[in-house]
Structure 1
Amino acid sequence: MVASKISLLFSVSVSLGIAPFAHAAEVDGEASGDIIVTGRAEKLYRVESTSAARGTSDPLDIPQSVTVINEALIDDQGARDATDLYRNIAGVTIFSYSGVTFRGFRQDRVFYDNLRGDPFIAFSVPRLFNIQRVEVLKGPSGMLYGPGEPGGLINYVTKTPTDELAAQASLTVGNYDRYGASGEISGPITGSGVLLGRMGAYYEQMDPFRNNTREKSLILDGGLTVKLGEDARIIGQVTHFDQKNRGARLRGVPTDDDGNFLADRSWNTNEKSDFLNLRATVYQARLQAEPADGIAVELATRYFNARERQQYHEARGLVDTDGDGVVDASRRELRDQERTTKGLTLSGNATIDRRIAGLDNRFLIGADWYREDADFWGRTVPFARIPLLSLANPVYGLSGASFYNLEAIAKRPTDTRSTRYGFYLQDQLHLSEQWILVGGARYDRYKDADLLGGTTYSDGDWTFRSGLIFKPRSDISVYASWSEGFEPQAVASQTPLAGGPFAPITGEQVEAGVKLALMGGKLQANAAVYQIKRRNMLQTDPNGDSSDGVDDLTPIGEVTSKGFEIELAADVTPDWVLTANYAYNDARITATVPGQSLTNAVGDRFANAPKHEAGLWTRYQFRSTGTAVALGSEFVGERLSIEGQRVKPYVIFDASVIQQITPQLSVLLRIDNIFDKTYAASGFIARTGHFPGEPRTVFAELRWKP
């Protein structure tokens, strides 16, 4: 019965060739019990403001590419973690875990409410339960956010207490023994509305397709807002994350050089006794005020304490056990590790709108400070003591922490401290109704210390940003911009034995594009071309001295990334919405030591950097029946792994159906990877293989929202 219903719903969505599902319903009291879904598709995915460029701004007034994914799209796609969203962002594909390839470059940096402090450290993936929207600013953002990678920046905007009473709850069940529940309530605590509150809880468990795995995730989220008059408020938030992943940390499945899996995609080096557990708590407070007309101020602080504990079996190379010339088993070593990270951010900024010499100006001024302490220890049981694991018929239960005396193995500790602080100023000058000039500068200081090794390095640098915007109409924006960024070198590379200290890695981008918000915003489109140059990556110095036991390094690496992107969001009719994106990127090494390769590079190209990628999501709702259907697809072109193995291109399709049962109650049916395609989501190194994409997954979610 269930299978037949799923088949029917799927055939309906495919036959339409269009997609998404109804987000809400309204009931006509005159109708005899029939549910009439009004044209709620309009404006469903459109966004008219963003804080990605510091201070809420019209995207048309930002001279860089910006993508914003709102809560409606997150809900409609049934997204649970960050990796579910990348297909909606032109120029972004998965690299590993929560790390992405961003305009050709690997990076992991994210912000929350424009603040540093990511509690999902190392190999844990961010969950989206308490996220209201995701903002993506593309290209170097050093002037606005300080040190970071040049591809772009992802900013998660969290949910805060609402002025009006709101509540929702859900129950989830799916294949792979998936089940979960969530609930949240938000609104005034006092009758005067001076005190607002929010509480939310989320739990989900499933046994994914990889052998021995089980995932459990718990999120507890609370917030309190105190209104200090009409123009000021204090927002306090506390969020606790508890993730327990069995049979992890997950690596890939071995492949040959042509990208073919050598084992079933469910193959896993880990035992049932292996695990990766994360516990983290975040405390955040913000003061938002408008002390005078045209002035907005925000002071904020964010602190997190995260601990990631893991025991896992790492692949250490393939072997041919029967001498037939075909590898058929993998060596493994057991790793026992713990990471603890604490981070504190202090931030303040103000936007000031003033007319000077008859011209409108928006000044942005701000400063921020961040400190992160990271401790790590690890120990390893060598592969010589651990049984081989067959690729075709893996036998588990012959290894694990209980098989060895781990306490007899010495721990390898590290202890580092990183400090970042800077101040910035930007002016957005309206030269006329059509022309806007943007210019800004920032100065940063940073200090990195290896507290055990005794190495300390500090330095500072300026970064700049400028742009020119031409608006022939209020709904069309043509722009050109130039922006900079930098990244301090890893503290381990700054030792004088390696020739350090070294100047930071720099990034510089030139971008031009056009943004549209036509037909009253019903058609939003962005197109951009760009070139990024990244310089000063460290390489082994072929003329250096290694007599001290440490290879000398030299900062001569350079990469040039060129490409263009197109993004579209359209209300085709009051009931039909679609979003689409396409990106082309060509990232190549343009300077290096002969015979050497940069980190994450193969020859003159970069790992997991496709030349072509595209995404589609489209949604149609039937008003008379309260039904909506959705179809999505993702295409990622051919790539190379870190060690040069082919990563095959793939196309996958997803579908969703929502049935409104009552004005408050609806059911979502979600199908991912409809045709159950076997594919690699990304490549890694040869001994650990490619990361397999998920097979067909199906889940249903009962949603209540008054």
Structure 2
Amino acid sequence: MSPAYAASAQPAKVSFNIPAGQLEQVLVAIARSVRGIILFDPALVGSLKSVGVSGSLTVQDALREAMQGSGLEAVANPDGSFGVHRVAVKTALPIAAEVLPAPIVSTEPEPSVLPPVIVTNSVDTYHGYHDTGFIMRDTRSATRTDTLLANIPQSIQGVTTDLMESQQAQSVVDTLRNVSAVTYARGSGVDQAATIYVRGFIAPVMKNGVADLVSLTNVINGRGAGSSAITSLDTPIAAIERVEVLGGADSIITGGPMEPGGAVNIVTKRPQANTIREATLEIGNDGHRRAALDLAGSLSADRTWTYRTVISATDDARTFDGYDGARELYLAPSVGYKHDGTTIAAGFSHQLNHSPFGGYQSAELTAQGPGPDQHTSPWGRPDDHSFAAKTELFYDLEQRLAPGWAFLSKAHYTKLRYNAAGYANCFPSFVGASDGICFPDQSSVTSYTRNIENSVRASFQTGPLQHTLLAGMSYGQTRLGSYSDVSPLGGVIVPWPPSGLDLPPVSAPASLITTDDTFYYTNFFLQDQVTWGRWHVLANVGHEQERNNFSTDTDSNGVEHDTSPPKNAPVYNVGVAYRLNENTALYANTFRSFTPGSTVLDSTLNGGPPGVVVAPPTIGRSVEIGVKLNLLNNRATFSAAIFRATHKDVLYQLSGPITATSYSDYVLLPSTISRGIELNFAGRLMPGWNLTASYSYIAFQYAKPPDQDPQISQFPRHRASLWTTYDLQSEAWRGWGAGIGLTARSGYTAVPDSDVLGHIAGQTRTDASIYYRSRHWSTTLGIKNLFNRRLYSDFATSTVGVEPSRTLLLTNTFEF
């Protein structure tokens, strides 16, 4: 269903002068004239013509005149919108007649979107999604096929473009505040996340369904020694259509190893036929400046060839702690083609990042809680920074082979170049010390990543069962082309915390080491989506393998061993959804994931004989039950899930020997367990009022090492978020509105270096905005951390991240 935006039903008349033409375009013109909502299925209006509309008419009369002789009628909805339907045909299909739909097929009213925009891309002209407002209706990420969320037996939450724009989101990390099951450890950079956690477990990050196989890593002899570089988390907001969070141990979808909590998928904007000419200008605290351009449209008269180009640039004057500001340039053109059973989108992106070594705050964690801010001035020199250049090429193809049969293929290539020079790592000499040491970072790395996935899809029936069968294989490799991680020897003694330093400059590395070290991943999968009346079954089986060509080690006898034999494991997903009615679905699932085991020399395992230890893969399992609801005449959605995830057989090295030898002693830990509930709501409560809210309770418990007390959870158990906007409804204030949001969590404990528990108190952050929307431009003034509270991140070790203080943003968007 494509929504065009038209005014709520009112008896007042409006002057129309819309010429004859395609019915779809006439409906859009009516919507533009009165700025409200008209809902219609592009396939329904198809190639129908309209005589146009002229004169002073009510919206109802204008629609009746536009559709005369078409066999269609406009029906007023309770929220003031209009739906276009065939005369005398019911709008709701019986559950038993459901087939797997194209992206948006619901014939019920969809939520309004703030700000009002025209969305009329049909399935035949758009390569992306058709999200409206704060609600996602369907996805390809969980099944590799277009499937309604209600028919997928899995928790899937998301952040749409309209929600991101409404909140003035600055990064992917910023958007994930809307999903309460997600936490992150703050990284060393402006609004960076070093690690994303879903349900307490480390989560892989994907972009358009392709995972970052080796992120932020300089792989040298099997060791990760890199620093921050460009990952999918650094995709500019201007280029993102939605951000999805998939719950559960879904290794088959991520295409490689993962822990059992879930995964994050970033979906970038794709080509479309409808014209977009949109420019964004933004300013904020500390000289923040951002500009973006979004261009899209048709390249051919029949709208089969389309394009999309996104350009984004950031130029910040400085960081709050005195470093030179961040700079970024991003360019992403793409083209699309849809005609006669062939669908393809292809393009590339090029991203340049100049990232200061500052711009983030942290505090030392003590038994009394977080200490004072550590970053008050540059720890090294104001111009200490890293530079990264990332180039990506992609294609995504679907070719119909015969009725019910299709070939699917997608590929992704990435080249990443990263250089750093400056003082990045500073530490106190000991807890409570008045001095510390700063180590220079002088590193460089170039890496290449290739991913390709091919599959065949077949749709057929066996008796009463409707099948969508998918069989395929994905292959990925990440190769380290060259590197230098040799930093100048020794560190520099500094006062602690560092302040007002005048340290010698650090030059870039003088030479690079060329290598062919490569990680390889393969994933074979077979999937069947079965529909039988109200039942929807998802069954996946797969076989995954990881290997590399460089890991060797020498034992105590001088014998060299290959420590990188192939590591593989079978994985599976099974889930069932039952549609009680057209608005209610119950579901349950069980998923399985794996992470590769390790090979270590001169060691023992679980007290066994010494020698070469080959640890088994670490197995993740998740179980989940839940419910999904469409509410308020399909203007809102609600979902609830209860889950349990376990991670078993993690290899752990004991600090004290259990054998009287010089060997290293290892054990396989019992299960790390995460259990909890998730609640999510999104939609429009009444005309002009949009809301999204999320709550999670997560009880996370690490596996207990032998002869030690159980490690505590370093995550808050309770997290909640809420964001709501309201458009003023009176004619005098038309276009004006306001938004307000809360992000809250409970307190939690962590273990600082003193081995005494440190407590981080619960907290609530408040954001607010006021905005004005007109037909061709909008402006939003937003305040993040409205009350300027000292807030801490949701994960801590010996230090805890300190969230930014009050931040003002002014965002202006223009259509031309």
Normalization by structure 2: what TM-score?
0.75
Q: Aligned-pair distance for 1:84?
A: 0.5
Residue 214 (1) aligns with residue 325 (2):
yes
Q: Cα gap change, 1:77/1:296 in structure 2, threshold over 3 Å: closer, same or farther?
A: farther
Q: Aligned-pair distance for 1:250?
A: 5.6
Q: Aligned-pair distance for 1:682?
A: 4.3
Aligned twin of 1:90: 180
* Aligned-pair Cα RMSD in Å: 3.1
**Aligned counterparts of 1:495 and 1:411: Cα–Cα separation in 2:** 29
Give percent identity, aligned residues only: 19
Is the CA contact (8 Å cut-off) linking 2:321 and 2:359 kept in structure 1?
A: no
Deviation string, structure 1 residues 247-302 (Cα, Å, up to 9, x no partner): 34967333433332333664553421311222100000111233344444420110
Picking from 142, 149, 154, the partner of 1:59 is 149
Write the letter of the residue equivalent to 1:46: I
Structure 1 residues 203-242: aligned runs within 5 Å: 203-206=313-316, 207-227=318-338, 229-242=339-352
Is the CA contact (8 Å cut-off) linking 2:323 and 2:359 kept in structure 1?
A: no
Deviation string, structure 1 residues 406-438 (Cα, Å, up to 9, x no partner): 76xx9999974211112111222233x222333
Is the CA contact (8 Å cut-off) linking 2:641 and 2:679 kept in structure 1?
A: yes
Is the CA contact (8 Å cut-off) linking 1:205 and 1:217 kept in structure 2?
A: yes
Report the secondary structure of 1:85's partner residue.
helix
Residue 247 (1) aligns with residue 357 (2):
yes
Q: Aligned-pair distance for 1:25?
A: 9.1
Structure 1 residues 137-216: aligned runs within 5 Å: 137-146=246-255, 147-206=257-316, 207-216=318-327
Report the secondary structure of 2:650's partner residue.
strand
Deviation string, structure 1 residues 639-684 (Cα, Å, up to 9, x no partner): 3446453333221111122212x41011121211111111222454
**Aligned counterparts of 2:432 and 2:409: Cα–Cα separation in 1:** 62
Structure 1 residues 347-358: aligned runs within 5 Å: 347-358=453-464
Write the letter of the residue equivalent to 1:104: G
| Residues 284-293 or 529-538, more deviating | 284-293
Q: Aligned-pair distance for 1:101?
A: 2.0
**Aligned counterparts of 1:218 and 1:696: Cα–Cα separation in 2:** 26
Q: Aligned-pair distance for 1:133?
A: 1.1
Q: Aligned-pair distance for 1:367?
A: 1.4
Q: Aligned-pair distance for 1:140?
A: 0.5
Aligned twin of 2:707: 594
Q: Aligned-pair distance for 1:458?
A: 0.6
Q: Aligned-pair distance for 1:355?
A: 1.2
Write the letter of the residue equivalent to 1:112: K
Aligned twin of 1:371: 477
Q: Cα gap change, 1:449/1:140 in structure 2, threshold over 3 Å: closer, same or farther?
A: same
Structure 1 residues 676-691: aligned runs within 5 Å: 676-686=788-798, 689-691=799-801
Residue 290 (1) aligns with residue 290 (2):
no
List alignment gaps of at least 5 residues for structure 2. 17-31, 38-111, 115-131, 188-192, 218-227, 554-561, 604-611
Aligned twin of 1:38: 36
Q: Cα gap change, 1:119/1:416 in structure 2, threshold over 3 Å: closer, same or farther?
A: closer
List alignment gaps of at least 5 residues for structure 1. 1-22, 597-602
| Residues 675-684 or 308-317, more deviating | 308-317
Aligned twin of 1:458: 566
Deviation string, structure 1 residues 435-464 (Cα, Å, up to 9, x no partner): 233322111222123367664221321111
Residue 665 (1) aligns with residue 777 (2):
yes
Deviation string, structure 1 residues 530-585 (Cα, Å, up to 9, x no partner): 1111012111155567967x734333342011111100113110210101010011
Is the CA contact (8 Å cut-off) linking 2:361 and 2:803 kept in structure 1?
A: no
Is the CA contact (8 Å cut-off) linking 1:629 and 1:658 kept in structure 2?
A: yes
**Aligned counterparts of 1:411 and 1:191: Cα–Cα separation in 2:** 52
**Aligned counterparts of 1:188 and 1:84: Cα–Cα separation in 2:** 32
Aligned twin of 2:163: 73
Picking from 336, 344, 356, the partner of 2:450 is 344
Residue 519 (1) aligns with residue 632 (2):
yes
Q: Cα gap change, 1:247/1:459 in structure 2, threshold over 3 Å: closer, same or farther?
A: closer
Residue 111 (1) aligns with residue 220 (2):
no
**Aligned counterparts of 2:184 and 2:254: Cα–Cα separation in 1:** 23
| Residues 527-536 or 290-299, more deviating | 290-299
Q: Aligned-pair distance for 1:349?
A: 2.8
Report the secondary structure of 2:165's partner residue.
helix
Matched length: 655
Report the secondary structure of 2:139's partner residue.
coil
Q: Aligned-pair distance for 1:365?
A: 2.1
Flag the structure with more relative contact order, 1 or 2, with Cα contacts below 8 A and sequence separation at least 6. Answer: 1
Residue 335 (1) aligns with residue 441 (2):
yes
Is the CA contact (8 Å cut-off) linking 1:144 and 1:424 kept in structure 2?
A: no
| Residues 563-572 or 422-431, more deviating | 422-431
Is the CA contact (8 Å cut-off) linking 2:443 and 2:509 kept in structure 1?
A: no
Residue 605 (1) aligns with residue 712 (2):
yes
Is the CA contact (8 Å cut-off) linking 2:363 and 2:370 kept in structure 1?
A: no
Report the secondary structure of 1:426's partner residue.
strand
Q: Cα gap change, 1:378/1:29 in structure 2, threshold over 3 Å: closer, same or farther?
A: farther
| Residues 448-457 or 354-363, more deviating | 448-457
Aligned twin of 1:48: 137
Write the letter of the residue equivalent to 2:345: I
Aligned twin of 1:397: 502
Is the CA contact (8 Å cut-off) linking 1:531 and 1:563 kept in structure 2?
A: yes
Is the CA contact (8 Å cut-off) linking 1:144 and 1:442 kept in structure 2?
A: no
Aligned twin of 1:261: 371
Moved over 6 A (4+): 23-29, 410-415, 544-548
**Aligned counterparts of 2:671 and 2:341: Cα–Cα separation in 1:** 49
Q: Cα gap change, 1:371/1:568 in structure 2, threshold over 3 Å: closer, same or farther?
A: same
Write the letter of the residue equivalent to 1:423: F
Structure 1 residues 14-29: aligned runs within 5 Å: none
